[in-house]
Each structure stands twice: as C-alpha cells, then as structure tokens.
Amino acid sequence: MENFIVTTTRKPDDTAEIFATELATKLGGNFVEREDFSFDMLKKIHGVENILLVKKNSLSVITAEGELFFHPNTAHLRIKNLRGGDGDRLIDALKISEGSTVLDCTLGLGSDALVVSFVVGLRGKVVALEINPLIAEIVRHGLKNFSEDSPHVLDAMRRVEVVNADCKDFLKNCADNSFDAVYFDPMFRRPVKSSSGLNPIRPLADNRPLTQEIIREACRVAKCRIVMKEHSDSAEFDRLGFTIAAGGKYSSVAFGVIDV
C-alpha cells in the first residue's frame, strides 16, 4: 500500500477535486474524498503515513510531525539584505553572480534555491533536485503560485526548475562542466532539534549521508566549485574532502567547499 493519499479540504470546489485526482494519478497515490474525516482517521482507514492536502490555492503534506507547506521563510530577509548590499554566506561560498548556473542537489523547502535564483538572475539558471515526490510537488507548486511577496522575489521563485530525482542518478547523466557550482544541503548527521520549522519535513527527508561517489560526480559536473552545508563541527567535511569556508565564526552551521 502507498504511504500517502491525496485529499482536499472538507468543502472543496470542483477545481480542487479535479486537481487532487490529477495529482494522485501523477504521483502514484490514491485520491480519497475528505468527507468529514480527521487526518488521523484517514491515515488509520487507509493505512498511510502522509496525506497530500489540496487547498484552494496551495498544497501541503500532513506528516507525523505536522503540516509541511511552502513558504519563502528566511529567503525573503536574505534577499532583502542582498539588495541592501549585505553579503550572504551561501552566495559567498558558492562564488556565484549574475548569469551563473547552479545545481542544487537537495531542494528541501527551497529557501536556498530561491536566494541563488535571485542572485543568478534572468541570465542564470538554477536546477533544484528533490528525491521525495511529495516535497518536490509542494515546493514546485509553491514556487509557481506563491504571490504574497515583492516582484523580485516572485520572479526568482518562478525561475527555479524543480526536478524530482535522486542526485546520484541526475549527476551521472550530466555532461562534464555543465554547471558553474553544485550545492548540497543534506540532512545533518546530528539534527538541530531546535529548528522546529523543519520538523514536518523530517519524516519525508532523505537521511542517507552523501557518498564519495556522489562528490566525485559533482566535481566532474561543476566548472568551479562544490559546496556542502553541515553542522560546524561535523566530521562529514573531512570525510568527503571539503575545506570549511571562512565566515560565520559563531554559527552552528558551516559551508564546506571544493574548488575544481
């Protein structure tokens, strides 16, 4: 049995029901009429762990840890700071600018991809990979339809290309030097539990560590630099051959880089 179903709010319009059935077909799940059931009851009846919920103008996933939905989160403030002339640790680590091409191998909720898209602009390109189809779908839909932000943020959202794929497989099919930079933000080996906003994504996230094979492929695909985000004292940097970038002395998060 599939580990998710697709449903709607209790009183959906025809458009929402049609969209929900289309999503179920696309993602290989089952559409279930909501009726008056609670989410817990629907999970119990259908033996699933997650529910893809179609609302009037948005999508979300009900997981064991809460409701997961798209929102620009810190990207809005980071873009505002960039527009004001301040720096951004990820952008500094990637060494990108207008016109750069970036492969984000771990989309997650899309905050980093959005900031990168703003920086590379119309002449650049951001391809963002997400292995979980439910996360990929809600973030893709959010980037395409979210409307409560400034025009330059919304334009950056629309330019992110979301691909539901395993980064290992995707990288193997990329040509040599096909992106200026490749970025990884894997689930930390030691989770930051205080980041409560990430809790709903944890049941869906890919917890596998990066492998040396993946990093070798990234080095082949990247023209200039590979960047990985991890806990500042993580052993992953040494294991995978990254040098920790300068900056963020008092931050619990660090960026490791490999120049190619």
How distant, in Å, are the alpha carbons of 76, 93, 141, 189, 243 from that of 196?
Answer: 19, 26, 23, 17, 29
Give me the pLDDT at residue 2, please: 59
Give the containing element (helix H, strand E) for 79: helix 75-83
Within this chain, do residues 212 and 128 fall inside the same structural domain, yes or no? yes
Q: Is residue 61 part of a domain?
A: no
Q: Is residue 67 part of a domain?
A: no
Q: Is residue 65 part of a domain?
A: no
Task: Indicate whether 122 pLDDT > 70.
Answer: yes
Give me the pLDDT at residue 56, please: 86
How distant, in Å, are the alpha carbons of 48, 50, 63, 133, 190 from that of 3?
Answer: 5, 6, 11, 12, 26
Q: Is residue 69 part of a domain?
A: no
Task: Indicate whether 252 pLDDT > 90.
Answer: no
Within this chain, do residues 136 and 49 fall inside the same structural domain, yes or no? no
Q: Is residue 37 part of a domain?
A: yes
Residue 7 neighbours by CB distance under 10 Å: 26
Within this chain, do residues 29 and 155 fall inside the same structural domain, yes or no? no
Confidence category of residue 199, pLDDT binned at 50, 70, 90: confident
Q: CB–CB of 17/7 below 8 Å?
A: no
The per-residue pLDDT for range 81-105, each reduced to its tens digit, is 999 999 999 999 999 999 999 999 9
* Containing structural domain, residue 25: 4-56
SS3 207: coil
CA distance 69 to 57: 12
- Mean pLDDT, the chain, rounded, equals 93
CA distance 53 to 34: 10
